[in-house]
């Protein structure tokens, strides 16, 4: 079943929407959640929460790309769950390390007062990603969107860990330069 048909099932309030979503995107959502939570049980709960969030959002929203919508929801839910679990243990593990790497070149968001700035930042960020060669973009997205460990990225792409680290460092530096050029304070 294609994405348009699945979205139509949500709009029709058919319970088949959940099973079709699970069949097509269950593994994808679990992968995202597991990279953050490192627990099958927590990841499954997060994926189920994603289905509920999709069910609740669909009457008002028709996502243009269902996979991106579900991925974003799953990632946000997993990050919130991770933050709750690690509130006392700040600074340990792969998730804070990956987020700290990006924090060096991306400004922090202060909720409502940054809405316009965040939209500009998103547009610049999309242009930056589009400008990257395919392999470099894969490395960047796997690390900072999917929060994959560097070792996993290196193994999957048949690269050394040092070349993945160097690619990430150069990409972050390019992003920082672009943001500064665009007048976005870091």
Q: Are 37 and 60 contained in the same domain?
A: yes
CA distance 6 to 18: 9
Residue 79 has pLDDT above 90, yes or no: no
Ranking 40-54, 102-116, 154-168 by mean pLDDT, the lowest is 102-116
99 shares a domain with 172 = yes
Q: pLDDT-based confidence at 181, cuts 50/70/90?
A: confident
The answer to whether residues 81 and 109 belong to one domain is no
**Is 98 in the same domain as 176?**
yes
**In terms of C-beta density within 10 A (0-12 exposed, 13-18 middle, 19 or more buried), how is residue 35 classed?**
buried
Task: Please tell me the predicted confidence (pLDDT) of residue 111.
Answer: 47
* CATH code of the domain in which 15 resides: 1.10.1740.10
Confidence class of residue 131 from pLDDT cuts 50, 70 and 90? very high
107 in the same domain as 63: no
Task: Give me the pLDDT at residue 179, please.
Answer: 84
Query: What pLDDT, on a 0 to 100 scale, did the predictor assign at position 64?
Result: 84
Confidence of residue 96 (pLDDT cuts 50, 70, 90): low
Is residue 186 in some structural domain? no
> How far is residue 178's CA from residue 106's CA, in Å, rounded to a whole number?
11
The beta-carbon contacts of 75-80 under 8 Å, at least 24 apart in sequence, are: 75/32, 75/33, 75/36, 75/145, 77/33, 77/46, 77/49, 77/50, 77/53, 78/32, 78/33, 78/36, 78/37, 78/42, 78/43, 78/46, 79/36
Interatomic CA distance for residues 36 and 74, integer angstroms: 10
Residue 83 has pLDDT above 90, yes or no: no
For residue range 18-65, list pLDDT tens digits in order. Answer: 999 999 999 999 999 998 899 999 999 999 999 999 999 887 778 888
CATH code, 140: 1.10.10.10
The answer to whether residues 62 and 9 belong to one domain is yes
Poorest-pLDDT segment among 6-20, 117-131, 159-173:
117-131
Q: Identify whether 43 is part of a domain.
A: yes
pLDDT of residue 105: 64
- Residue 106 and residue 79 share a domain: no
Whether the predicted model's global pTM rises above the 0.75 cut? no
Q: What percent of the chain has pLDDT over 70?
A: 80
Domain that holds residue 144: 94-181
State the average pLDDT for the chain. Answer: 84
Asked if the model's pLDDT at residue 86 lies above 50, the reply is yes
- Give the count of domains, the chain: 2
Task: State whether 75 and 104 are in the same domain.
Answer: no
Q: Are residues 79 and 109 in the same domain?
A: no
């Amino acid at each position: 079943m294609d994405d348009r048909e699945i979205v139509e099932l949500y709009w029709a309030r058919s319970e088949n929407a959940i099973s079709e979503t699970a069949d097509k995107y269950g593994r994808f959502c679990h992968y995202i959640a597991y990279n953050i939570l490192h627990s099958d049980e927590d990841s499954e709960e997060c994926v189920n929460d994603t289905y509920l969030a999709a069910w609740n959002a669909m009457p008002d929203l028709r996502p243009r790309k269902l996979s991106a919508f579900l991925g974003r929801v799953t990632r946000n839910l997993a990050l919130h769950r991770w933050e709750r679990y690690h509130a006392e243990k700040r600074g340990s593990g792969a998730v804070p390390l990956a987020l700290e790497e990006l924090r060096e070149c991306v400004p922090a968001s202060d909720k409502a007062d940054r809405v316009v700035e965040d939209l500009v930042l998103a547009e610049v960020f999309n242009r930056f990603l589009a400008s990257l060669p395919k392999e470099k973009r894969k490395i960047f997205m796997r690390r900072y969107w999917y929060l994959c460990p560097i070792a996993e990225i290196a193994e999957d792409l048949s690269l050394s860990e040092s070349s993945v680290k160097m690619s990430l460092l150069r990409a972050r530096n390019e992003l920082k330069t672009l943001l500064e050029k665009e007048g976005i304070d870091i």
